[in-house]
């Protein structure tokens, strides 16, 4: 078996967290636009705990091969037992840009996936498109 023992972003805690209600403010944006990503995180355990909420983005088809998931943002939150917090991320053009084959820093129109979760594997997912 060639799979890693722990996924990227994995961490230990004395409590457990549940993610729900991932939503995007829009499913289409222009290259200079922004999208707000919202997710609820609940401490479902009996101890207070800190959680690192991680946001990953995947460009489904691009002119250059890119990683399957790229960590683009994260937020550290403190939750009391059974407390729920709504976490907001802003996807801005700089989070979608990359160096193309000519080494120009650019953003391309296309389809993207956004993943939010406690690590790179245990995530909720949504989709959006960048248009010209």
Query: What residue segments make up the domains of the chain, in order of their start?
Result: 17-131
Residue-level pLDDT at 115: 99
In angstroms, the CA 22 to CA 69 distance is 17
b/e per residue 82-92 (b: at least 16 CB within 10 A): eeebebebebe
107 vs 4, more confident: 107
Q: Is the model's pLDDT at 56 over the cut of 90?
A: yes
Pick the CATH number of 17-131 from 3.30.70.20, 2.60.40.10, 3.90.1150.10, 3.30.470.30: 2.60.40.10
- Sign for the pseudo-dihedral over CA of 114, 116, 122, 126: negative
Q: Is the model's pLDDT at 1 over the cut of 90?
A: no
In angstroms, the CA 2 to CA 18 distance is 28
Structure pTM?
0.94
């Amino acid at each position: 078996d060639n799979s890693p023992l722990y996924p990227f972003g994995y961490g230990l805690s004395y409590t457990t967290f549940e993610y729900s209600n991932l939503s995007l403010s829009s499913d289409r944006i222009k290259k200079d636009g922004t999208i707000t990503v919202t997710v609820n995180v609940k401490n479902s355990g009996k101890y207070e705990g800190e959680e690192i909420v991680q946001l990953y983005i995947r460009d489904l088809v691009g002119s250059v091969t890119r990683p399957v998931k790229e960590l683009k943002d994260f937020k550290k939150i403190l939750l009391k037992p059974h407390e729920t917090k709504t976490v907001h991320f802003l996807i801005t053009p700089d989070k979608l840009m990359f160096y193309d084959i000519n080494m120009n820093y650019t953003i391309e129109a296309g389809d993207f996936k956004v993943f939010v979760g406690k690590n790179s594997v245990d995530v909720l997912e949504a989709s959006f498109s960048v248009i010209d």
